[in-house]
Structure 1
C-alpha cells in the first residue's frame, strides 16, 4: 500500500505540468501517431533506467546504510546530467515537492527531513529520483520497488501528456504503459551493478526537443 501511495501517478508533486519533451516532439512532427509515441516512450524509459535509475539504486542503498554523504553525491550526479533547462527545472521542482510532502506524511523519518533541509540550504539540488529512493528506503521498501516506480513514473508522465497533445486513446496509452512496465524487470537487471560513473543518458534528440521547448512561444506545459 505504501508503494501504491508513493508511486501514484497523481502524487501531488507537479509531474502533470511537464511533458518531458513530448510537446516539442509533437510540434515538430517527430511524434505523430501511436508507433512514434511508442518509440518516444521506450527511448525515454531506457534513458531513465541507465541514467537516473542508477542513481536511484545508489541512493536507496546509501539511505539504507544511513550514509547521507553518498546521497549528496548521487543528487549532484543526477542534476549534472540534465542537459536541458526544462529537465533540471522538472526534477528539482518535483523533488522539493516530494520532500515537503514526505516530511508531513513521514514526520518521524530524520533522513527525509535532513534532505529537505539540505535542499533549502542549497547543499543539494533536490532531484526527484533521489527523493523517491530516500522515501522508499525509509518505508523499508525494496530497491526493485523504487526502480519500478521510477520507470512507471517516467512513462506515465509522458503518456498523460500525450492524451492532451495528440490524437491517441486511453487504450493506446495503457497498452504502451503495460509494455514499459513489462520491461522494467529486465532494465533493473541491466543496471543493478552499475556505479554513478556508469550513468549514461545518451538520447540527443530528446535533449534537443527539450531545449526547443524552453524557447517555444506557445506551450501547454511548463519549462
Structure 2
C-alpha cells in the first residue's frame, strides 16, 4: 500500500481525485455548454469587450456563486451526509426561490436534473435514486448545487471538493462561451481560469462559515442581462 505524505492512502486519494475530475469535467454531459451565464448579453451590450472585462465578469460570477449557490451546496452536503431528505428539499427550494430570472432557473434545474440522472446511472447510490424520484414527482425542483452536493456526499467526496467543482464549472461555462462569442484566445481564457482558481480557497472559507440564511441572490446586473437576453433577436446560448 502506498501512503501519501499526509498519511492518507495514496491509491484512495487518487480514486477520489479521479472521480472529482470526472464529475467536474466540462465534457460531463449535463448540458451546461448550452448556457453562457449572462455573457452573451454582456457582450451584446458592450459590458464585456476584451480579456480584461471578461476576467472581471467571470470573477464577479464566481463571487456571486460563493455568496449564493455555494452556501446551499455546503449545507446540502451536510444534509446528504446525514441522509436527511427533508432538509435537502428545503435547501433546494431556497436555491430555486433565489433564481429571479427564468433563464437562471432553467439552467439550474436542467443541469441539476441531468446531473442527478447521470449520478444514478454511474454511481447508483440509494440517496441519488431517492432524489431522482423527488424530482420526478415534483416534490422538489432539483437545482444543480444540491444535486452536486448529494452526488459528492454519497461518494465520500468532501464539501470542499464539491465547492471546487462548482466554481470551476461556473468559470469554464463563461470562458468556454467567450471563445465562441468574442475575440479572445485560448491563452487568454486559460490565464483567466488560472487566476480565478487561485481565489477559490478564500471563497470556500467564506461560504463554509456562512449560514443558509446568509445566502443572497443580489445580482441586479446579472438579472437585467438575463431579462435582455430573453428578448434578444439573435441568441446562440440559452442564457
Q: Identify the residue that residue 23 of structure 1 maps to in structure 2.
A: 40
Q: Which runs of 5+ in 1 are unaligned?
A: none
Q: Identify the residue that residue 37 of structure 1 maps to in structure 2.
A: 54
Q: Identify the residue that residue 138 of structure 2 maps to in structure 1.
A: 122
Q: Identify the residue that residue 202 of structure 2 maps to in structure 1.
A: 186
Q: Deviations over 1:94-147 (max 9, x none)?
A: 01111111111012x111011110001111001011111000001100111001
Question: Aligned-residue CA RMSD in angstroms?
Answer: 0.8
Instruction: State yes or no: 1:59 paired with 2:76.
Output: yes
Deviation at 1:50, TM superposition (A): 0.6
Q: Identify the residue that residue 175 of structure 1 maps to in structure 2.
A: 191
Deviation at 1:205, TM superposition (A): 0.7
Query: Partner of 1:26: helix, strand, or coil?
Result: helix
- Residues 45 and 154, structure 1, Cα contact 8 Å, conserved in 2: yes
Instruction: State yes or no: 1:166 paired with 2:182.
Output: yes
Q: Deviations over 1:54-85 (max 9, x none)?
A: 00000000011111111111111111001111
- Residues 21 and 209, structure 1, Cα contact 8 Å, conserved in 2: yes
- Residues 42 and 180, structure 1, Cα contact 8 Å, conserved in 2: yes
Query: Partner of 1:10: helix, strand, or coil?
Result: coil
| Bigger radius of gyration among the two | 2
Instruction: State yes or no: 1:197 paired with 2:217.
Output: no
Instruction: State yes or no: 1:152 paired with 2:168.
Output: yes
Deviation at 1:196, TM superposition (A): 1.4
Q: Deviations over 1:36-56 (max 9, x none)?
A: 111100000000001000000
Instruction: State yes or no: 1:72 paired with 2:89.
Output: yes
Aligned length: 222
- Residues 119 and 126, structure 1, Cα contact 8 Å, conserved in 2: yes
Deviation at 1:193, TM superposition (A): 2.0
Deviation at 1:5, TM superposition (A): 0.5
Q: Structure 2 length as normaliser, TM-score? A: 0.91
Query: Partner of 1:90: helix, strand, or coil?
Result: helix
Q: Identify the residue that residue 113 of structure 1 maps to in structure 2.
A: 129
Q: Structure 1 length as normaliser, TM-score? A: 0.98
